[in-house]
Amino acid sequence: MHVNEVLAEIKGKEQMPAEQVFKNIRMYKGMPAQRLLAIMNRGFSNSLGVSCSHCHVVGDYDKEDKPTKQIARDMSGMVTTINGTLLKNIKNLKSTDPTINCGTCHNGRARPGAGNAAMRAGAP
Ligand code: HEC
Ligand code: HEC
């Protein structure tokens, strides 16, 4: 499994800040390297129902080969705006701290949303 390959490469540096361990960290500066890999695995791959190769050429993780990698950063920014601003401005919600994440929309699908074929066909 790809996470284990990367973990083997960074052995001894798991708790160091991601930007000191990896080459091209823009978004997750300060995050322990091992935690970044957990996000790659569960937060991204599992939530979207994809493998690492959806956003990376496997092995060349620092490169910007695929547009999906930057889309993931932009989606993250969207999630921050929704959680930090938009949800907070909706009055009378039942949760005290209503929060969404990638899985809330994607729920195992690479392309959620009203524009895709399954949604047009009326699937939930
Ligand atoms: C939905 C897209 C997406 C998926 C799927 C994904 N990644 Fe990433 N990955 C990113 C983004 C975005 C970054 C850059 C984060 C930043 O800018 O801080 C990144 C960065 C990385 C880095 C740091 C590379 C460097 O040297 O800068 C590694 C290592 C990595 N990913 C491994 C993985 C592995 C292993 C998987 C599969 C388990 C995976 N990724 C799945 C989007 C993804
Ligand atoms: C509010 C709902 C929502 C949330 C939350 C969300 N997404 Fe998305 N995402 C979408 C929609 C809608 C699309 C567009 C799908 C299409 O092309 O029709 C999309 C597309 C994408 C794509 C491009 C897929 C492709 O094949 O072109 C990536 C990558 C992605 N999202 C990653 C993420 C990540 C990572 C997160 C969490 C940080 C996230 N998304 C959170 C709704 C969401």
CB 54 within 8 A of CB 110: yes
Q: Is 55 exposed, middle or buried (0-12, 13-18, 19+ CB in 10 A)?
A: buried
- Closest by CA to 104, choosing from 73, 74, 83, is 83
Dihedral sign (CA 27, 40, 65, 11): positive
Ligand 2 centroid to Cα of residue 84, in Å, is 18
Q: What is the pLDDT along the chain (124 residues), one digit of tens a residue?
A: 899 999 999 999 999 999 999 999 999 999 999 999 999 999 999 999 999 999 999 999 999 999 999 999 999 999 999 999 999 999 999 999 999 999 999 999 999 987 766 655 665 5
Ligand 1 centroid to Cα of residue 63, in Å, is 10
Ligand nearest to the CA of 73: 1
Q: Is 5 exposed, middle or buried (0-12, 13-18, 19+ CB in 10 A)?
A: exposed
